């Protein structure tokens, strides 16, 4: 059966570290990094007799995430112990939530080629992160660092509603953007603040039942998620086509070989021997508490996009690109406060800034200059101090060595030549040097004008005011 006769089914379990100041069950800091084992106390190191106390902010952040993803918030929820042994988990159980998660039955909307599509969210629950094992540093085994133990997480479990790697990519990007907007997680994937377990299965088109899924754990880059899904679809189809069987198992994605490898068979929930956490009280939320969080929810990407379309008349594409990243759209808003030119700011961010970010494989929050500086650059073009061509060079410099555009322009002698006398002299010089082009223009070849202007630009290293050049050439050749 050809590949097109199969359909892919994908479901994601996304872990996001919450940006609360302190851990979920103790008052240790949640800061990333730090000397190993310096952000811990008897509670997160699992000393006998130490008791957890639930951090109220964790509940608030999780409820915010639930409301922002259209979930129902449970008034009555609780924590459970999920028992398993691993050296980064000193208690030998993780405090999580089993049958009564905080949030249930939500959805997130993505835009696909066939239009808008809702991806269901089964549940969002709170839990604690584990520590970290640092392997091989001393060539004599692994060292455990418990700084991350007890950092609060939300796990967002999706329905198996995605049908392609692109769907999964869009869903995760949307989710990331929502979490950034409501400021519950910094979503830094490279630091592991946002990571996804990717479940993939295939079935014959038209078949009702789902196929057996495999799961790739802890993926933290969009690129590898797409590659891993594509690979896994191909692998599963091949197995089935050759009369084989897919086993439910956990796989490891290897970035270098571009393949997945079996890690272990999948545990069932009974293997975890879940039971209610006896050291914590149930979580009861009042209607008022939930409504209060709902009322204070900040603007979400979708609303902000609508506002950009209506208030600033940006293009759909521009509004989409800007609002997909909270950082980028905050940057945009800061810049337009100064230069009051939304279209120009949007264009610069969408085209040249985006291109450089892409080339340098940087995220928007790594832009090395401030919104004020982009605004200044745009004002300098509007005032005619520099041409938009030179402005692109200024932007390159702003990425290399962030300084005020006016200083970069001054240091490089890039101020635009708009002095009439000076331009006239250049025009005359170019006319004298190019009699053939002058002849061509006079005999009706409009293109020749472009050539002459180009020569004058070359002569002035792009600094001559192009409008003035055009006009003066025309006048001189009349």
Contact criterion met (CB below 8 Å) for 424 and 472: yes
Min dist. Cβ of residue 200 to ligand ADP (A): 6
Which runs of consecutive H residues, i.e. helices, occur in 195-269?
222-241
Contact criterion met (CB below 8 Å) for 408 and 397: yes
Give the contacts of 301 (CB within 8 A, at least 6 positions apart): 174, 177, 178, 181, 323, 324, 326
Q: Does residue 26 touch Zn ion according to CB under 5 A?
A: yes
Residue 123 or 463: the one with the smaller Cβ distance to ligand ADP is: 123
Structural tokens at position 181: 């907007």
28 binds, among Zn ion, Mg ion, ligand ADP, none (CB under 5 to 8 A by kind): Zn ion
Min dist. Cβ of residue 47 to Zn ion (A): 10
CA 131, CA 321: separation in Å to the nearest integer? 36
User: Helix (H) and strand (E) counts for the chain?
Assistant: 16, 16
The C-alpha torsion from 320 through 323 and 328 to 332, rounded to 10°, is: 90
Residues from 168 through 207 that contact Mg ion (CB under 5 A): 197
Residues from 114 through 133 that contact Mg ion (CB under 5 A): none
Q: Does residue 394 touch Zn ion according to CB under 5 A?
A: no
Q: What are phi and psi of 133, to 5 degrees?
A: -100, 125
Residue 83 or 470: the one with the smaller Cβ distance to Mg ion is: 83
CA 374, CA 358: separation in Å to the nearest integer? 18
Residue 151 or 394: the one with the smaller Cβ distance to Zn ion is: 151
Residue 7 or 197: the one with the smaller Cβ distance to Mg ion is: 197
Beta pairing, strands 249-254 & 214-219? parallel
Min dist. Cβ of residue 317 to ligand ADP (A): 31
Judged by the rule CB under 6 A, the positions of this chain that interact with ligand ADP are 9-13, 157-160, 199-201, 210-211, 213, 215
Residue 199 or 341: the one with the smaller Cβ distance to ligand ADP is: 199
Q: Compose the 44-83 pattern: x for residues touching Zn ion by CB under 5 A, - for all others.
A: x---------------------------------------
43 binds, among Zn ion, ligand ADP, Mg ion, none (CB under 5 to 8 A by kind): Zn ion
Q: Total number of residues binding Zn ion (CB under 5 A)?
A: 5
Give the burial class of 444: count Cβ atoms within 10 A of its Cβ; 0-12 exposed, 13-18 middle, 19 or more buried: exposed
Contact criterion met (CB below 8 Å) for 148 and 131: yes
11 binds, among ligand ADP, Mg ion, Zn ion, none (CB under 5 to 8 A by kind): ligand ADP
Query: Cβ-closest residue to ligand ADP?
Result: 11
Q: Compose the 301-340 pattern: x for residues touching Zn ion by CB under 5 A, - for all others.
A: ----------------------------------------
CA 194, CA 179: separation in Å to the nearest integer? 10
Min dist. Cβ of residue 198 to ligand ADP (A): 9
Q: Which stretch binds Zn ion (CB under 5 A): 25-33, 58-66, 193-201, 428-436?
A: 25-33
Q: Give CA 150 to chain center in angstroms.
A: 25
CA 135, CA 417: separation in Å to the nearest integer? 61
Residue 158 or 455: the one with the smaller Cβ distance to ligand ADP is: 158
Binding site for Mg ion (CB under 5 A): 13, 197
Binding site for Zn ion (CB under 5 A): 26, 28, 41, 43-44
């Amino acid at each position: 059966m050809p590949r097109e006769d199969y359909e892919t089914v994908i479901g994601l379990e996304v872990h996001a570290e919450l940006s609360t100041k302190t851990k979920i069950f103790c008052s240790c800091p949640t800061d990333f990094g730090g000397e190993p084992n310096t952000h811990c106390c008897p509670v997160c190191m699992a000393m006998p007799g130490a008791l957890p106390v639930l951090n109220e902010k964790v509940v608030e952040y999780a409820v915010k995430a639930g409301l922002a993803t259209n979930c129902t918030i449970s008034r009555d929820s609780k924590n459970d112990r999920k028992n398993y042994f691993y050296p980064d988990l000193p208690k030998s159980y993780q405090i999580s939530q089993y049958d009564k998660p905080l949030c249930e039955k939500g959805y997130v909307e993505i835009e696909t080629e066939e239009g808008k599509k809702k991806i269901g969210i089964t549940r969002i629950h709170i839990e604690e992160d584990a520590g970290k094992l640092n392997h091989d540093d001393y060539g004599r085994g692994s060292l455990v660092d418990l700084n991350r133990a007890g950092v609060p997480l939300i796990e967002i479990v999706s329905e198996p509603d995605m049908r392609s790697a692109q769907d999964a990519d869009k869903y995760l990007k949307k989710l990331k953007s929502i979490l950034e907007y409501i400021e519950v997680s910094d979503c830094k994937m490279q630091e592991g603040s946002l990571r996804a377990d990717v479940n993939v299965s295939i079935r014959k088109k038209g078949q009702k039942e789902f196929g057996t899924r495999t799961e790739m754990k802890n993926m933290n880059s969009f690129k590898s998620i797409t590659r891993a899904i594509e690979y896994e679809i191909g692998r599963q189809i091949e197995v089935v086509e050759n009369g084989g069987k897919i086993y439910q198992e956990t796989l490891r994605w290897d970035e270098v070989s571009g393949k997945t490898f079996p890690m272990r068979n999948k545990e069932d929930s009974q293997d975890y021997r879940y039971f209610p956490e006896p050291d914590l009280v149930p979580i009861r939320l009042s209607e008022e508490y939930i409504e209060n969080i709902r009322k204070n929810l900040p603007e979400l990407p979708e609303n902000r996009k609508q506002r950009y379309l209506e208030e600033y008349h940006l293009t759909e594409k521009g509004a989409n690109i800007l609002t997909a990243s909270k950082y980028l759209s905050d940057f945009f808003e800061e810049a337009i406060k100064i230069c009051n030119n939304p279209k120009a700011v949007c264009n610069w961010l969408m085209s040249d800034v985006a291109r450089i970010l892409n080339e340098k494989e940087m995220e928007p929050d790594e832009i090395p200059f401030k919104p004020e500086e982009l605004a200044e650059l745009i004002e300098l073009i509007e005032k005619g101090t520099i041409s938009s061509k030179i402005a692109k060079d200024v932007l390159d410099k702003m990425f290399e060595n962030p300084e005020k555009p006016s200083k970069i322009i001054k240091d490089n002698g890039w101020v635009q030549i708009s002095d009439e006398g000076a331009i006239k002299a250049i025009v005359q010089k170019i006319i004298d040097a190019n009699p053939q082009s002058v002849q061509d223009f006079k005999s009706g070849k409009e293109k020749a004008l472009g050539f002459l202007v180009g020569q004058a630009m070359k002569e002035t290293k792009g600094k001559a005011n192009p409008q003035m050049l055009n006009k003066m050439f025309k006048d001189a050749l009349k």
